[in-house]
């Protein structure tokens, strides 16, 4: 039949041709980014364009404020990412809720739904069961950038009983100017902004409610954010007096609590650094990544501690977190730290 020149060769050919051909169906997930022209939207778009299993649905720039045009794309989407101001995000959610039949899943990068009971908080490292909650969720609220650093510092210590739940806390923090929106970015890049600027000095900030809720605090922290003259990067600090802590708490016990917490997460992007040997902490070293690092600095002679978290405010603090959550919600291959 094959004109075989040897029996072994004929047997090999027969075995090959007897095998059924494998048919692989490549599932394409349709994603619509509502607000893709902003800083976070552009970063998310850039990351998703590299995924072979994602099809981005894009709206004509002239139609971005046309609700009917957006609705048509949302009805086609498997998942919608909202990169909008709070009121606009609420309007888009209402539009999706009003759809008949199958509705797309939602990731909201605004502040609008972060403490809402019907939404899952999109910080997978919150606890060992949080990834599962995000996988099953229809609606996920992306955390705030400062809140990500603050909760990463606080939640493991609260869970371990190393911080009193009603302890008055301060969270001095600094971010690159890219988190401030178009006007701030233009001002800094034109050399028209301060080198260092403290803000929200009415002691109200939109990230405080989610910090209180998801860190497990009973007392509202004193949160003082600032903007430095660098584009990306962020540090959130938690200064402490040793005398404020339960007897027996040491810097190493704090590191061990962090290690125990984050090792319980199946795919954690949070790394706990060993005892520092250099007494400085660069806010920008994790730029363009989805990673977060925690360090514990101490002066036992003076009884002082400073716990610090650093991350990219546009990465783990925004677009990176959204893409991490998207992978979970669509059951894609997990991102690797």
Q: pLDDT by residue (tens digit) across 237-278?
A: 999 999 999 999 999 999 999 999 999 998 999 999 999 988
Domain topology for 29-143+319-329: Rossmann fold (3.40.50)
Other beta carbons less than 10 A from residue 91's beta carbon: 16
Task: Tell me where in the chain the CATH 3.40.50.720 domain(s) lie.
Answer: 29-143+319-329
pLDDT (0 to 100) of residue 334? 79
Residues (pLDDT < 70) of the chain are 1-26
| Predicted model pTM | 0.89
Contacts of residues 41-47 at CB distance under 8 Å and 24 or more positions apart, as own/partner, are: 41/81, 41/83, 43/314, 43/318, 43/319, 43/320, 44/81, 44/83, 44/319, 44/322, 44/323, 47/319, 47/320, 47/323
- Which of 4, 10, 83, 145 is labelled catalytic? 145
pLDDT (0 to 100) of residue 1? 39
CATH class of 145-314: alpha beta
Other beta carbons less than 10 A from residue 278's beta carbon: 6
Instruction: Report the C-alpha gap between 122 and 109 in whole angstroms.
Output: 10
Task: Tell me where in the chain the CATH 3.30.360.10 domain(s) lie.
Answer: 145-314
Catalytic residue flag (residue 10): no
pLDDT (0 to 100) of residue 26? 63
pLDDT (0 to 100) of residue 216? 94
Note whether 44 and 69 are within 8 A (CB): no
Which two tokens mark 132? 């599962």
pLDDT (0 to 100) of residue 71? 95
- Specify the DSSP class assigned to residue 319: I
């Amino acid at each position: 039949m094959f004109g075989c020149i040897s029996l072994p060769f004929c047997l090999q050919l027969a075995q090959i041709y007897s095998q059924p051909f494998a048919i692989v169906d490549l599932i394409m997930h349709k994603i619509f980014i509502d607000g893709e022209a902003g800083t976070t939207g552009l970063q998310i778009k850039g990351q998703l364009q590299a995924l072979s299993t994602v099809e981005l649905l894009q709206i004509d720039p002239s139609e971005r404020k046309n609700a009917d045009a957006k609705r048509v794309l949302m009805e086609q989407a498997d998942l919608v990412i909202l990169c909008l101001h709070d009121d606009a995000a609420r309007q888009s959610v209402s539009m999706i809720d009003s759809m008949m039949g199958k509705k797309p899943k939602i990731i909201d990068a605004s502040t609008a739904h972060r403490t809402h009971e019907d939404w899952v908080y999109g910080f997978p490292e919150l606890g060992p069961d949080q990834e599962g909650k995000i996988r099953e969720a229809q609606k996920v609220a992306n955390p705030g950038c400062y809140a990500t650093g603050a909760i990463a510092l606080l939640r493991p210590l609260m869970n371990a009983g190393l911080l009193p739940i009603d302890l008055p806390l301060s969270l001095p923090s600094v971010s690159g100017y890219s988190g401030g929106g178009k006007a701030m970015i233009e001002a800094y890049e034109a050399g028209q902004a301060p080198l260092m600027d403290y803000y929200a000095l009415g002691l109200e900030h939109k990230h405080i409610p989610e910090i209180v809720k998801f860190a497990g605090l009973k007392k509202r922290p004193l949160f003082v954010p600032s903007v430095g003259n660098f584009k990306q990067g962020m540090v959130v600090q938690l200064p402490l007096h040793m005398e404020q802590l339960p007897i027996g708490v040491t810097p190493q016990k704090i590191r061990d609590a962090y290690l125990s917490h984050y090792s319980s997460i199946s795919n954690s992007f949070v790394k706990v650094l060993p005892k520092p040997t250099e007494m400085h902490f660069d806010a920008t070293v994790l730029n363009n990544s989805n990673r977060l690092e925690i360090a514990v600095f101490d002066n036992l002679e003076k009884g002082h501690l400073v716990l610090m978290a650093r991350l990219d405010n546009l990465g783990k603090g925004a677009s990176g977190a959204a893409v991490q959550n998207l992978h979970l919600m669509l059951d894609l291959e997990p991102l690797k730290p």
